[in-house]
């Protein structure tokens, strides 16, 4: 075990953990907005795939990564809009329609991938940017301030989301709609509009989460490349008690343990690989059970809103 | 009432939008009716362009199709992306009831399902891999089995990697520690250790054949731990090859040529050539034998091939050593899971 607690290994774990946390952060922060307004979107994984595909395809065809990123956000927006129509306007059961959306995203991204690309190709994605001064700090500079743009963006998103949710009128409306849509409605808040906005915002961020994989971290597209990350992101929202900082804590914990288990295997520590691979999931479940934050759950989560009904 | 009408209208609009978005997959071209073609159906876990397990088999099928005289003589139907076993089982049953001459379940995870389906269609020939179990012990006589002796190529690639490594550390990015991947990894480790006893080989498994992201992190971790030569198996390795490319490490592939993902990163690949297996199965089925035989791909029977990437130079003495190793495996003086026999 001692070989795990050396400086290079610890630095390696933190560096990989930060990178691994990036897609989860975008997706889970977006999902936090949707859930705070009362909509559970289980289609995050499918949206991520659409974002990953669209971003990759556009970046490859135009040679411009930023166009790719915009395309991913647009694809996420469309998927979010679809989810809003189904779950807000049509008032479909949110859990079921989310799973449907996920399968739709999985199927459509695979189909488009096969029709337009045919096989796996890679591109040169966003490169690490060393932040001046901070990046020169020994050790810390390497692990915290030498990442690509999308990694920085994910971590800047956390305080921003926290500010929007807690300090702005829009955030207040979102929280009101998620707690008691009837009361919010009588006070003149447009419940439908707020929910459309949050679900679409969640879609945009899930699209960017996908692009963070295909344009910054892995730099290629393959069918089902998220392999269930979107569902982990939904779990992280619960884990984080519907608060951006909590979500970040959960994403980092999950990612650090995932990075740790790879090092456990690399260092040949005598644990079966199957157990090592399970570590992040087991830990997440334990933390989820112990956290006992159900009280923070938005009261109207998964409940469709119909004016005049109670 | 108005609300309901609006909702239905929205729903109709939505469904029609979705339907128009989903293009119909191209139907397999129907061959001319005058002569009855040989009809093969295959069910695969990943796609036919996965640069790995599924592609290796599909390319072999296409090659045999060409030899047989094209789609009018040799019809291929396939279902790809069947990572979900119950779906795959339904597809296998479907193909069998449509009267295909040979139905292939290309994935060891499909074995249990196949052993339940095959007895229901005694007139149909089935095949599955990678495995050597034809279910004859269970009284089933219409199933072929096939397996690649991946450890052979693994051993040779391990030898090359160990001799080329400057850091003395190799990284193996495994998917699931079972079946074909396990054979390959075990062979690679044995080859490396025999070529260079002081070599350090670090092995990781992600627990998934499809988790590209975790595979990329595994490769990153190996490189951070000092590895300069990496290998791995399954369709998820594309993530790892990308990392190797970015960080200037080299990659050794298996199953199918992975050079397109890293034109200057992939040193050499063990390529599976399933044509010998398919040819023999087709011949046997035509002769009325529907199963009961297990095939293997080896260097000796030409089913395994070592393919170098011209863009990455390998020193001649190492190439010579690799060829010597292949010869040793072919004539039985080297056991690819342990080393030279005394």
**Mutating which of A22, A266, A280 best tests the B interface, going by the most B Cβ atoms within 10 A?**
A266
Residue B26 scores a pLDDT above 50: no
Judge: A273–B177 Cβ closer than 8 Å, yes or no: yes
Who among A12, A273, A277 is closest to B221 (CB)? A12
Judge: A119–B23 Cβ closer than 8 Å, yes or no: no
Judge: B212–A274 Cβ closer than 8 Å, yes or no: no
DSSP letter string over B160-224? HHHHH-SSSEEEEEESSSSHHHHHHHHHHHHHHHHH-TT-EEEEEE-S-SS-HHHHHHHHHHHHH
Token reading at A192: 């439908």
B150-272+312-340 and B38-148+274-297 share a CATH fold: yes
Chain B partners of A20 at a C-beta cutoff of 8 Å?
Answer: 213, 217
CA closest to B20 among chain A residues: A108
- CA distance, residue B278 to nearest chain A CA (Å): 24
Tens digit of pLDDT for each residue in B269-323?
Answer: 999 999 999 999 999 999 999 999 999 999 999 999 999 999 999 999 999 999 9
Q: Is B167 on the interface with A (CB under 8 A)?
A: no
Chain B partners of A276 at a C-beta cutoff of 8 Å?
Answer: 205
Q: Are B113 and B92 in contact (CB under 8 A)?
A: yes
pLDDT, averaged across chain B: 89
Tens digit of pLDDT for each residue in B186-237?
Answer: 999 999 999 999 999 999 999 888 888 899 999 999 999 999 999 999 888 9
Arch. (CATH architecture) of B38-148+274-297: 3-Layer(aba) Sandwich (3.40)
Q: Where along chain B do its domains lie?
A: 38-148+274-297, 150-272+312-340
Q: Is B171 on the interface with A (CB under 8 A)?
A: yes
pLDDT above 90 covers a percentage of chain B that reads 74
Query: Looking at domain A2-122+130-296, which of 1.10.357, 2.60.120, 3.40.50, 1.10.3470 is its CATH number?
Result: 1.10.3470
Residue B20 scores a pLDDT above 60: no
Tens digit of pLDDT for each residue in A121-175?
Answer: 888 899 989 999 888 888 888 889 989 999 999 999 999 999 999 999 999 999 9
CA closest to B9 among chain A residues: A90
- CA distance, residue B78 to nearest chain A CA (Å): 14
- CA distance, residue B202 to nearest chain A CA (Å): 5
Please tell me the total number of residues recorded for chain A in this structure: 310
Give the single-character DSSP code of B109: G
Largest Cα–Cα distance of chain B, in whole Å? 87
pLDDT interval class at A279 (50, 70, 90): confident
Judge: A259–B81 Cβ closer than 8 Å, yes or no: no
Q: Is B217 on the interface with A (CB under 8 A)?
A: yes
Residue B23 scores a pLDDT above 50: no
Judge: B222–A266 Cβ closer than 8 Å, yes or no: yes
* Residues 73 through 92 of chain B touching chain A, CB cutoff 8 Å: 81, 83
Chain A partners of B177 at a C-beta cutoff of 8 Å?
Answer: 273-274
pLDDT above 70 covers a percentage of chain A that reads 97
Q: Give the pLDDT of residue B14.
A: 63
DSSP letter string over chain A? -GGGSSHHHHHHHHHHHHHHHHHHHHHHHHHHHHHHTT---TTHHHHHHHHHHHHHHHHHHHS-HHHHHHHHHHHHHHHHHHHHIIIIIS---HHHHHHHHHHHHHHHHHHHIIIII-S--B---PPPEEPTTGGGSTTHHHHHSEE-HHHHHHHHHHHHHHHHHHHSHHHHHHHHHHH-HHHHHHTT--HHHHHHHHHHHHHHHHHHHHHIIIIIIS-B--TTTTTTHHHHHHHHHHHTTT-HHHHHHHHHHHHHHHHHHHHHHHTT-SS-HHHHHHHHHHHHHHHHHHH--GGGS-TTTT----TT--
Chain A partners of B78 at a C-beta cutoff of 8 Å?
Answer: none
Who among B211, B246, B260 is closest to A121 (CB)? B260
- Distance from C-alpha of B16 to C-alpha of A145, rounded to nearest angstrom: 48
> Tell me, what's the ipTM?
0.85
Q: Give the pLDDT of residue A310.
A: 53
> What does the H/E/C string look like for A154-207?
HHHHHHHHHHHHHHCHHHHHHHHHHHCHHHHHHCCCCHHHHHHHHHHHHHHHHH
Chain B partners of A220 at a C-beta cutoff of 8 Å?
Answer: 212, 238-239, 242, 261
CATH T-level assignment (fold) for domain B150-272+312-340: Rossmann fold (3.40.50)
Judge: A273–B204 Cβ closer than 8 Å, yes or no: yes
Q: Give the pLDDT of residue A270.
A: 81
Q: Are B217 and A258 in contact (CB under 8 A)?
A: yes
- Distance from C-alpha of A126 to C-alpha of A148, rounded to nearest angstrom: 6
Judge: A89–B10 Cβ closer than 8 Å, yes or no: yes
Q: Is B49 on the interface with A (CB under 8 A)?
A: yes
Chain A partners of B5 at a C-beta cutoff of 8 Å?
Answer: none
Tens digit of pLDDT for each residue in B115-149?
Answer: 999 999 999 999 998 899 999 999 999 999 999 99
Q: At what angle do helices A229-239 and A273-291 cross, to 10 degrees?
A: 30
**Mean pLDDT of the region A172-182:** 94
* Residues 239 through 268 of chain B touching chain A, CB cutoff 8 Å: 239, 241-242, 245-246, 260-262
Q: Give the pLDDT of residue B16.
A: 61
- CA distance, residue A169 to nearest chain B CA (Å): 30
Chain B partners of A268 at a C-beta cutoff of 8 Å?
Answer: 202-203
Judge: B239–A218 Cβ closer than 8 Å, yes or no: yes
DSSP letter string over B243-293? HHHHHT-EEEEEES--GGG-TTTEEEEEEE-THHHHHHHHHHHHTT--S--
pLDDT above 70 covers a percentage of chain B that reads 89
Judge: B225–A265 Cβ closer than 8 Å, yes or no: no
Tens digit of pLDDT for each residue in A80-104?
Answer: 999 999 999 999 999 899 999 999 9
Who among A108, A115, A259 is closest to B217 (CB)? A259
Phi, psi of B180 (to 5 degrees): -60, -40
**Mutating which of A222, A254, A267 best tests the B interface, going by the most B Cβ atoms within 10 A?**
A222
pLDDT interval class at B81 (50, 70, 90): confident
- Distance from C-alpha of B124 to C-alpha of A270, rounded to nearest angstrom: 47
Q: Where along chain A do its domains lie?
A: 2-122+130-296
- Distance from C-alpha of A19 to C-alpha of A219, rounded to nearest angstrom: 13
pLDDT interval class at A176 (50, 70, 90): very high
Chain A partners of B239 at a C-beta cutoff of 8 Å?
Answer: 218, 220, 222, 225
* Residue B32: CA count within 13 A, CB half-sphere: 6
Give the single-character DSSP code of B33: S
- Distance from C-alpha of B158 to C-alpha of B325, rounded to nearest angstrom: 11
Tens digit of pLDDT for each residue in A17-60?
Answer: 999 999 999 999 999 999 999 999 999 999 999 999 999 999 99
- CA distance, residue A12 to nearest chain B CA (Å): 7
**Mutating which of B181, B238, B240, B251 best tests the A interface, going by the most A Cβ atoms within 10 A?**
B238
């Amino acid at each position: 075990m001692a070989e795990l607690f050396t400086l290079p290994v610890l630095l390696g774990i933190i560096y990989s953990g930060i990178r691994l946390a990036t897609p989860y952060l975008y997706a889970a922060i977006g999902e936090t907005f949707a859930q705070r307004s009362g909509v559970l979107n289980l289609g995050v994984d499918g949206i991520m795939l659409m974002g990953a595909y669209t971003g990759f395809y556009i970046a490859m065809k135009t040679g411009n990564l930023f166009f790719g990123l915009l395309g991913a956000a647009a694809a996420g927006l469309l998927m979010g809009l679809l989810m809003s129509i189904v779950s807000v306007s049509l008032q479909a059961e949110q859990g079921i329609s989310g799973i449907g959306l996920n399968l739709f995203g999985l199927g459509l991204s695979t189909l488009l991938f096969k029709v337009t690309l045919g096989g796996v190709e890679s591109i040169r994605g966003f490169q690490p940017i060393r932040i001046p001064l901070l990046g020169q700090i020994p050790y810390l500079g390497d692990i915290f301030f030498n990442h690509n743009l999308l990694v920085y963006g994910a971590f800047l998103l956390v305080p921003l989301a926290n500010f929007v949710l807690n300090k702005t009128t829009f955030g207040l409306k979102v929280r009101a709609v998620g707690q008691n849509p009837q009361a919010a409605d009588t006070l003149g808040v447009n419940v439908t509009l707020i929910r459309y906005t949050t679900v679409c915002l969640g879609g945009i961020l899930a699209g960017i989460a996908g692009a963070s994989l295909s344009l910054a971290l892995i730099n290629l597209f393959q069918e089902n490349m998220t392999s269930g990350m979107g569902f982990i992101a939904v779990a992280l929202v619960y884990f984080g008690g519907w608060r951006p900082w909590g979500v970040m804590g959960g994403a980092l914990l999950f990612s650090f343990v995932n990075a740790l288990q790879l090092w456990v295997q690399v260092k040949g520590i005598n644990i079966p690989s199957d157990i090592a691979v399970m570590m992040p999931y087991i830990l997440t479940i334990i933390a989820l059970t112990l956290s006992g934050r159900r009280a923070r759950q938005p009261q109207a989560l998964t409940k469709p809103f119909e004016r005049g009904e109670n | 009432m108005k609300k309901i009408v609006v909702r239905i209208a929205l729903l109709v609009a939505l469904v029609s939008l979705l339907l128009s978005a989903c293009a119909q997959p191209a139907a397999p071209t129907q061959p001319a009716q005058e002569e009855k073609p040989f009809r093969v159906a295959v069910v695969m876990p990943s796609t036919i362009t996965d640069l790995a397990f599924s592609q290796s088999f599909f390319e072999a099928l296409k090659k045999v199709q060409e030899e047989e005289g094209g789609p009018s003589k040799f019809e291929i139907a396939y279902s790809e992306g069947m990572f979900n076993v119950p779906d795959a089982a339904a597809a296998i049953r479907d193909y069998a009831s449509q009267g295909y001459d040979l139905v292939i379940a290309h994935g060891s995870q499909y074995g249990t399902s196949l052993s339940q389906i095959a007895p229901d269609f005694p007139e149909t020939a089935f095949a599955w891999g990678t495995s050597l179990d034809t279910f004859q012990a269970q009284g089933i006589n219409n199933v072929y089995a096939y397996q690649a002796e991946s450890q052979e190529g693994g051993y040779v690639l391990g030898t090359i990697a160990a001799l080329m490594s400057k850091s003395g550390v190799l990284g193996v990015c495994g998917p699931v520690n079972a079946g074909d991947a396990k054979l390959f990894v075990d062979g690679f480790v044995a080859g490396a250790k025999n070529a260079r006893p002081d070599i350090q080989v670090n092995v990781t498994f992600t627990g998934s054949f499809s988790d590209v992201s975790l595979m990329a992190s595994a490769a990153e971790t190996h490189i951070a731990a000092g590895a300069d030569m990496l290998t791995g198996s399954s369709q998820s390795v594309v993530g790892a090859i990308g990392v190797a490319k970015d960080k200037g490490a080299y990659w050794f592939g298996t199953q199918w040529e992975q050079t397109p993902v890293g034109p200057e990163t992939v040193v050499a690949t063990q390529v599976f050539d399933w044509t010998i297996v398919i040819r023999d199965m087709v011949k046997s089925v035509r002769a009325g034998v529907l199963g009961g035989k297990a095939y293997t791909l080896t260097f000796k029977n030409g089913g395994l091939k070592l393919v170098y990437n011209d863009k990455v130079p390998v020193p001649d003495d190492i190439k010579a050593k690799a060829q010597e190793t292949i010869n040793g495996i072919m004539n039985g003086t080297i056991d690819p899971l342990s080393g030279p026999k005394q």
